[in-house]
């Protein structure tokens, strides 16, 4: 797809957790699996910002009328519960933010002032997030292109959402207050792959400081996507950087679909969406649809809403968009005419609905089977969304899904959500402080790439990949200890990649277990061909390398044992050897390797096979003709 012709623009907002204690208290920045037992509840409502406006996103969150439940953990205190004012900002965290700013050639602010940013989804107990501008106007060069960094912020992370039940959202406080550096890029990224590469480049730079947290969820990206004629969509909190290209591709697809739908609606002369709602409950008294029947049984209703001119534009198009808006009102799902009859709703019921709503073949309709209040609220939510479809793409925030798709979460937050934090004094950033940080700047990723390629005699492309995937430190540790640098690089890049595609969590294998793997290999306890199997076993069973090798029954063959196997294969392959002579070697190699499966090194097998084959084919000839054909 020609993304440049589509006018694709992508900008990233990178959030990286710092490896220090929390920003406004001395608690440790670690996630906890078991809560400390204490729970408390809060409700939040939107307030006016400094400018006297109330943010649209905040209003919409408030409409969900949720109660927020917070789980305290052993590493949370009264600051996180918003029962105690914030302590002075963590100086180490500010130093790291400034260090990152200098690495990005940004201009540090002379004074750091914390602001409160209204957050009403409950992820902050206080109802706001503290955030401070640290530097302006930086940039990062990647693939020969300059990506601008207009702002670098230091802020506190939000509480960790554990789940949502009807009317209630549960958060754990362990993540709340972990220092985050937020880096916003200019939107001059032009393809999905470039978006992923830029994300990786920033990730490498952040890791170069060795002062950031590592692992899934420690870096999260908001991906802003728009195409010509479309609108800015913010995909919020992407954790899996490898998926960024997919998210962008799918969002481009979605915006193109919405633009095509809008063009078709205008072609059909659709200008408005009526808000007339009809109660169709009597039509469904004897319905076979389980969903509808149970809604009615619980005292609910079936409401019908007509979308004139929308026929065939719902299924796989506007349908999912409307359903996402209905969910805001607490409705699990909707039925629409493009997929009816279906879901137990009979053709006769569809005809009755069409008659009651007076719809023609060009019209669509939506049914909501729910409690009356909720069903009406759901349609109220869907009307503006359907109306926006006539224009094209409504700007909004979307939530990433694991499969690379996204789902509507709320309108884009506006500017009306900042006001000064009066509990935290401003901090002057002195020249001395900046000089001290500047003196100890870490090796930049591009320098690391060149050094790895040179010092370990690996290909520069491999070195770059090691840095990009964040395994360069691991590589250096293992390569320094065991040598075999090319093999180590191959395992960390390709074998790991292969196993990840099998959904195995190789990234969770402890470093010590990996060192053990290579030390067993070096000791000849198994052959390098068995590495993928051993790693697979380690990742799957959570066992150490010794255990994995024992489980698999792979142990290194002695030369004598290998010779016995080779001779057996040669005996079984007499016809082949008779027909093709030494040319049979390649085929024979495959047969032997299959038999020794990971118990002998390929090079050794080849050597033994060559010698045994030669003595069999030309037993009377003298040695020394090796290699001549
Ligand atoms: Zn604390």
* Residue 432, number of CB atoms within 10 A of its CB: 8
Q: How far is the CA of 84 from the centre of ligand 1 (A)?
A: 10
Cβ proximity of 451 and 208 under 8 Å: no
> Residue 545 Cα, ligand 1 centroid: separation in angstroms?
39
Question: Which residues in the chain show pLDDT less than 50?
Answer: 623-629
Helix/strand/coil for 600: coil
Cα–Cα distance, 617 to 577 (Å, whole number): 8
CA of 71 to the centre of ligand 1 (A): 13
Return the pLDDT at 55: 67
Helix (H/G/I), strand (E/B), else coil: 92:
helix
483 contact partners, CB below 8 Å, separation of at least 6? none
Core vs surface per residue 22-38: b (16+ CB within 10 A) or e? bbbbebebebbeebeee
Cα 198 to Cα 139, 144, 185, 191, 384: the distances in Å are: 11, 11, 10, 11, 36
Could you tell me the CA-to-CA distances from 567 to 434, 570, 617, 623 in Å, in that order? 71, 5, 13, 19
320 phi and psi angles, rounded to 5 deg: -60, -35
Distance between CA atoms of residues 224 and 198, nearest Å: 13
Burial 472-492 (b: 16+ CB within 10 A, else e): bebbbebbeebeebebbbbbb
Query: How much distance in Å is there from the Cα of 18 to the middle of ligand 1?
Result: 15
CA of 420 to the centre of ligand 1 (A): 22
Contact at 8 Å (CB) between 148 and 114? no
Q: How far is the CA of 115 from the centre of ligand 1 (A)?
A: 19
SS3 535: helix
What would the two tokens of residue 233 be?
A: 């969509």
If DSSP codes are grouped into helix, strand and coil, which group holds residue 583?
Answer: helix
Contact between residue 420 and residue 116 where contact means Cβ atoms under 8 Å apart: yes
Sheet strands (E) in 227-300: 233-238, 277-279
Ligand 1 centroid distance, CA of 50 (Å): 28
Partners of 160 in the β-ladder: 172
**How far does residue 22's CA lie from ligand 1's centre (Å)?**
7
- The residues facing 376 across adjacent strands are none
What is the distance between the alpha carbons of residues 74 and 406, in angstroms, rounded to a whole number? 34
Question: Ligand 1 mean position to 559 CA, how many Å?
Answer: 62
470, 511 Cβ separation under 8 angstroms? no
Euclidean distance between CA atoms 457 and 436, whole angstroms: 35
CA 440–ligand 1 middle distance (angstroms): 29
Contact 4, 144 (CB under 8 A): no
How far is 525 from 514, CA to CA, in rounded Å?
A: 15
CA–centroid distance, 112 to ligand 1, in Å, is 22
What one-character-per-residue DSSP string does 173-185 give?
Answer: TTSTT-EEEEEEP
- The Å distance, Cα 522 to ligand 1 centre, comes to 47
Are the beta carbons of 188 and 34 closer than 8 angstroms?
no
Q: What is the pTM assigned to this prediction?
A: 0.81
CA distance 506 to 370: 45
Give ion ligand 1 contacts, CB < 5 A.
25, 27, 77, 79-80
Rounded Cα distance, 16 and 245, in Å: 19
Q: Which residue, among 217, 151, 184, 198, has the nearest Cα to 445 in the 3D structure?
A: 198
């Amino acid at each position: 797809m020609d993304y440049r012709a589509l006018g694709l623009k992508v900008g990233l907002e990178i959030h990286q957790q710092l490896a220090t204690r929390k920003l406004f208290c001395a608690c440790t920045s670690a996630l906890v699996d078991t809560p400390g037992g204490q729970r408390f509840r809060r409700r939040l409502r939107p307030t006016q910002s400094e400018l006297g406006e109330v943010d649209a996103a905040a209003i919409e969150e408030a409409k969900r009328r949720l109660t927020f439940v917070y789980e305290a953990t052993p590493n949370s205190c009264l600051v996180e519960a918003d029962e105690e004012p914030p302590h002075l900002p963590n100086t180490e965290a500010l130093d790291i933010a400034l260090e990152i700013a200098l690495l990005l050639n940004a201009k540090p602010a002379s004074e750091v002032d914390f602001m409160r940013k209204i957050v009403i989804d409950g992820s902050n107990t206080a109802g706001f997030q503290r955030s401070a501008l640290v530097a302006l106007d930086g940039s990062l060069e990647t693939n020969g292109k300059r990506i601008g960094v207009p702002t670098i912020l230091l802020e506190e992370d939000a509480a960790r959402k554990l789940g949502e039940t009807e009317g209630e959202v549960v958060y754990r406080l362990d993540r709340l207050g972990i220092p985050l550096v937020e880096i916003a890029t200019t939107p001059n990224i032009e393809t999905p792959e470039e978006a992923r590469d830029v994300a990786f480049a920033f990730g490498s730079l952040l890791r170069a400081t060795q002062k950031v947290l590592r692992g899934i969820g420690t870096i999260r990206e908001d991906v802003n996507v728009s195409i010509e004629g479309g609108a800015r969509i913010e995909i919020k909190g992407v954790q899996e950087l490898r998926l960024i290209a997919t998210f962008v591709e799918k969002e481009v697809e979605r915006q193109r679909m919405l633009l095509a739908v809008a063009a078709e609606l205008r072609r059909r002369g659709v200008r408005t969406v009526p808000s007339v709602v009809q109660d169709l409950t009597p039509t469904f008294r004897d319905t076979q649809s389980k969903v509808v029947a149970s809604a009615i049984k619980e005292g609910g209703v079936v409401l019908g809403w007509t979308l004139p001119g929308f026929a065939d534009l719902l299924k796989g198009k506007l349908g999912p968009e409307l359903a996402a808006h209905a969910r805001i009102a607490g409705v699990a799902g909707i039925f629409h005419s493009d997929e009816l009859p279906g879901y137990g709703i009979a053709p006769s019921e569809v005809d009755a609905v069409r008659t009651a709503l007076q719809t023609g073949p060009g019209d669509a309709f939506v049914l909501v089977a729910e409690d009356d209040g909720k069903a009406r609220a759901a349609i109220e939510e869907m009307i503006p969304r359907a109306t926006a479809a006539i224009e094209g793409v409504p700007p909004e925030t979307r939530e990433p899904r694991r499969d690379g798709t996204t789902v509507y979460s709320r309108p884009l937050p506006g500017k009306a959500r900042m006001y000064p934090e009066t509990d935290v004094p401003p901090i002057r950033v002195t020249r001395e402080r900046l000089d001290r940080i500047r003196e100890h700047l870490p090796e930049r990723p591009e320098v690391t790439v060149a050094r790895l390629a040179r010092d370990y005699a690996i290909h520069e492309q491999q070195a770059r990949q090691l840095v990009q995937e964040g395994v360069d430190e691991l590589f250096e540790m293992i390569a320094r200890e065991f040598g075999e640098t090319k093999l180590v690089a191959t395992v960390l890049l390709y074998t790991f990649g292969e196993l990840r595609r099998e959904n195995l969590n190789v990234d969770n294998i402890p470093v010590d277990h990996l060192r053990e793997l290579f030390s067993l290999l070096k000791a000849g306890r198994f052959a390098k061909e068995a590495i993928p199997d051993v790693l697979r076993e380690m990742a799957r069973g959570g066992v150490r390398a010794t255990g994995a090798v024992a489980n698999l029954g792979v142990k290194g063959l002695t030369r004598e044992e290998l010779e016995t196997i080779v001779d057996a294969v040669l005996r079984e392959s007499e016809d082949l050897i008779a027909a093709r002579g030494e040319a049979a070697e390649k085929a024979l190699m495959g047969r032997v390797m299959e038999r020794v499966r990971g118990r002998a090194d390929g090079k050794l097998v080849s050597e033994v096979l060559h010698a045994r084959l030669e003595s069999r084919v030309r037993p009377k000839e003298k040695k020394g003709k090796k290699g001549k054909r």
